Amino acid sequence: MEGAIALLHWFRRLRTRWEIRDDIHHAFVTLGRAVICWRRLRTVLCRECRE
């Protein structure tokens, strides 16, 4: 769990919360999680293609 939170801190907009509304902040957190999942999935798929 701590690793996932650390990955979210790489996204500058999520590190410092500038949004006043919670729903906008939640949308950026969701987008950040999607980007992290996509990067990990892409890495795994690229490894399988090489084999």
For 3-44, write each residue's pLDDT tens digit. Answer: 666 666 666 655 556 667 778 778 888 888 888 888 888 888
- For residue 41, give the amino acid letter: L
The answer, as to whether pTM is greater than 0.85, is no
Distance in angstroms (rounded) separating the CA atoms of residues 48 and 45: 5
pLDDT of res. 9: 64
Q: Of how many residues is the chain composed? A: 51
Residue found under tokens 């999680």: 33
Contacts of residue 21, defined as CB under 8 A and 6 or more positions apart, other chains included, come to none
Distance in angstroms (rounded) separating the CA atoms of residues 9 and 20: 19
